[in-house]
């Protein structure tokens, strides 16, 4: 019998129908994948279960008895715990304190029992010690940990609540391979002890490696549930995307021989002596393990990091990289890695989000805006990038992740950049939107821009890039130029598995 049954779930956000008669049925002791492109509503369905979103209509039963989930507390009461890609850890508290937050064991008079707290935290944390490079930093402030380690703390926080249903929603996005491996072992243990794990990830290899069943959503509806042992990747993609023809475009470089961008000896707090060049119309990929300086390199090239030494030249002329204002004026564009925190203005309208980086070009005396001109510019981008919106006056936060990202990219296209820096632009967006982002990147390169592109997805990195630089600990350790480079080559290079290299 199913441990969890969700039926007829319906939720409307403003003008967007996020869920329309979605359903999910899953048994205890299984890992159940929830799949679908981003606008599909899988995140909303997850959040309905965890009480973050209150649906307009839904019937939910756990263990056969109907339950009403009006908030996260109700979800907790029914044994549901969740981990999202967005962290809820408190930076200033220690790892132990974060894990027991809200469950703090107390002695008489309500005094905290530190020793008991440590025991509770240690119980879940020790299982993850390989993910912390061997030793768990119980008393370190969470803010001092790497993003991947913070994510592990977040996961332990959920596990400390001893859930019967555990929701992992893109919880592996910021983990490196080793950490994912440890997490998967723990998830399998949980499954064997009868816990239902609802798993969402854009990485198909993870889904196949871990999950037993998959429920696929499309446009807010449940398309079906399939046993993963019998399913192929293509089958799943077909369920997600529907009967749309998949574009299989061969990589074709339009890079000219003319080198336009030269980075020479760039050194910052996180980078050491990085040098490379990019030709006009070339897409240069940045690979390697995540967090090895790719984002730092892009920030430095946008004037957003203090440069200790080195310079970046365009056509032989140094770019002014003392501030992002100057870099943007000089024709550099950055699509940052964290869309919500670094890329968009959540409470502001789509119109302003699109206009903000280029409006001075259209304004009279760089000050007075013409509403008509701004609207025309914004509409042009919305059509060109196929952004699905209700109206330009709607807040950008009403859009799905893929459409938000297209707005962030569109903001820069309006400024007609010569150098485009993209930091993992397809992270957490659906397949259709990814394809569209790829097309935009190609179009930018074809129109003569120098593109530097960081990606945590090796396949897309190889597909999109003319060359790939592999970074390790803030330096360039390898350059893959061969068109026949495989994912294995890239991974080996990223892990520095070549003979004679020391880690």
**Residue 70 touches other proteins, criterion: CB under 8 A:** no
Using the rule CB under 8 A, is 85 a contact of other proteins? yes
Three-state secondary-structure class, residue 312: strand
Task: Give whole-number Cα distances, 366 to 149, 325, 362, 373, 379, in Å.
Answer: 45, 15, 7, 13, 21
Least distance to other proteins, CB of residue 453, Å: 17
Question: By CB under 8 A, is residue 216 in contact with other proteins?
Answer: no
Q: Give one word for 291, left, alpha or beta, with left for phi > 0 and alpha for psi -120 to 50.
A: left
Judged by CB under 8 A, the number of residues near other proteins is: 59
Q: What is the distance between the alpha carbons of residues 452 and 445, in angstroms, rounded to a whole number? A: 10
* Residue 435 near residue 386 (C-beta atoms within 8 A): no
143 binds other proteins (CB under 8 A): no
359 binds other proteins (CB under 8 A): yes
| 214 binds other proteins, rule: CB under 8 A | no
Positions 217 through 236 that interact with other proteins (CB under 8 A): none
Q: Which is nearer to other proteins, 220 or 281 (CB)?
A: 220
Phi, psi of 164 (to 5 degrees): -90, -30
CB contact at 8 A, 195 and 28: yes
Under the binding rule (CB under 8 A), the answer on residue 73 touching other proteins is: no
Interface with other proteins (CB under 8 A), residue from 90, 231, 237, 304: 304
Cα-Cα-Cα-Cα dihedral sign, residues 454, 458, 464, 470: positive
> Which segment (101-109, 205-213, 331-339, 435-443) binds other proteins by CB under 8 A?
331-339
Nearer to other proteins, 120 or 286 (CB): 286
Does 334 participate in binding other proteins (rule CB under 8 A)? yes
Site mask for other proteins (CB under 8 A), range 422-451, x = bound: ------xxx---------------------
Shortest separation between residue 117's beta carbon and other proteins, angstroms: 29
User: Cα angle vertex 458, ends 454, 461, to 5°?
Assistant: 50
Structure tokens at 206: 């993870």
Q: Residues 106-130, buried b or exposed e (16+ Cβ, 10 A)?
A: eeeeeeeeeeebbebbbebbebbee
Two tokens at 98? Answer: 């974060």
Q: Which residues in 362-421 contact other proteins (CB under 8 A)?
A: 363, 366-369, 371, 394-395, 397-398, 400-402, 411, 415
Is the CB of 96 or the CB of 398 nearer to other proteins?
398
- Identify each DSSP E strand in 320-457 by its residue range: 332-335, 419-423, 450-454
Choose between 304 and 492: whose C-beta lies nearer to other proteins. 304
CB 35 within 8 A of CB 384: no
Q: Select from 20-28, 203-211, 281-289, 329-337 the region that touches other proteins (CB under 8 A).
A: 329-337
CB-CB contact of 380 with 323 (8 Å)? no
Question: Toward other proteins, which CB reaches closer, 190 or 298?
Answer: 298
Tell me which residues touch other proteins (CB under 8 A). Answer: 13-16, 18, 38, 41-44, 47, 53, 84-86, 170, 302, 304, 324-325, 327-329, 334, 336, 339-348, 352, 355-357, 359-360, 363, 366-369, 371, 394-395, 397-398, 400-402, 411, 415, 428-430
């Amino acid at each position: 019998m199913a441990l969890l049954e969700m039926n007829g779930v319906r939720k409307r956000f403003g003008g967007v129908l996020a869920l329309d008669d979605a359903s999910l049925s899953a048994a205890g002791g299984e890992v159940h994948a929830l799949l679908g492109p981003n606008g599909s509503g899988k995140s909303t369905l997850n959040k309905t279960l965890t009480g973050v979103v209150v649906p307009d209509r839904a019937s939910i039963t756990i263990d056969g008895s109907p339950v009403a989930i009006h908030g996260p507390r109700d979800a907790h009461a029914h044994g549901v715990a969740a981990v999202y890609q967005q962290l809820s850890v408190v930076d200033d508290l220690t790892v132990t304190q974060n894990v027991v937050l809200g469950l703090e064991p107390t002695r008489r008079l309500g005094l905290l029992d530190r020793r008991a707290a440590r025991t509770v935290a240690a119980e879940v944390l020790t299982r993850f010690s390989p993910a912390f490079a061997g030793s768990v930093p119980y008393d370190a402030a969470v803010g001092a940990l790497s993003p991947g380690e913070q994510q592990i703390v977040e996961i332990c926080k959920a596990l400390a609540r001893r859930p019967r249903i555990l929701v992992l929603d893109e919880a592996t996005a910021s983990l490196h391979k080793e950490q994912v491996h440890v997490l998967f072992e723990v998830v399998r243990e949980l499954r064997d002890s009868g816990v239902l794990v609802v798993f969402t990830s854009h990485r198909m290899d993870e889904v196949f490696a871990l999950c037993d069943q998959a429920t696929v959503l499309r446009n807010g509806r449940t398309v079906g549930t399939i046993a993963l042992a019998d399913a192929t990747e293509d089958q799943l993609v077909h369920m997600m995307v529907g009967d749309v023809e998949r574009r299989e475009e061969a990589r074709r470089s339009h890079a000219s021989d003319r080198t336009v961008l030269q980075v020479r000896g760039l050194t910052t707090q996180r980078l050491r002596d990085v040098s490379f060049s990019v030709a006009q119309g070339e897409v240069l990929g940045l690979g390697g393990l995540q967090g090895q300086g790719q984002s730092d390199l892009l920030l430095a090239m946008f004037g957003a990091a203090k440069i200790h030494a080195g310079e970046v030249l365009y056509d032989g002329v140094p770019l002014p990289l003392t501030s992002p204002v100057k870099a943007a004026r000089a024709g550099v564009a950055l699509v940052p890695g964290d869309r919500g925190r670094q890329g968009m203005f959540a409470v502001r309208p789509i119109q302003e989000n699109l206009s903000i980086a280029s409006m001075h070009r259209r304004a009279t005396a760089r000050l007075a805006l013409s509403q008509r001109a701004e609207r025309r510019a914004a509409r042009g981008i919305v059509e060109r990038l196929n952004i699905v919106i209700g109206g330009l006056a709607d807040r950008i936060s009403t859009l799905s992740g893929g459409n938000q990202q297209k707005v962030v990219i569109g903001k820069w296209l309006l400024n007609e950049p010569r150098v485009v820096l993209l930091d993992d632009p397809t992270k957490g967006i659906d397949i259709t939107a990814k394809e569209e982002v790829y097309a935009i990147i190609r179009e930018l390169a074809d129109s003569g821009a120098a593109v530097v592109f960081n990606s945590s997805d090796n396949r897309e990195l190889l597909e999109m890039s003319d060359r790939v630089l592999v970074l390790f600990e803030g330096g360039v350790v390898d350059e893959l130029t061969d068109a026949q480079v495989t994912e294995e080559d890239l991974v080996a290079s990223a892990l520095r598995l070549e003979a004679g290299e020391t880690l």
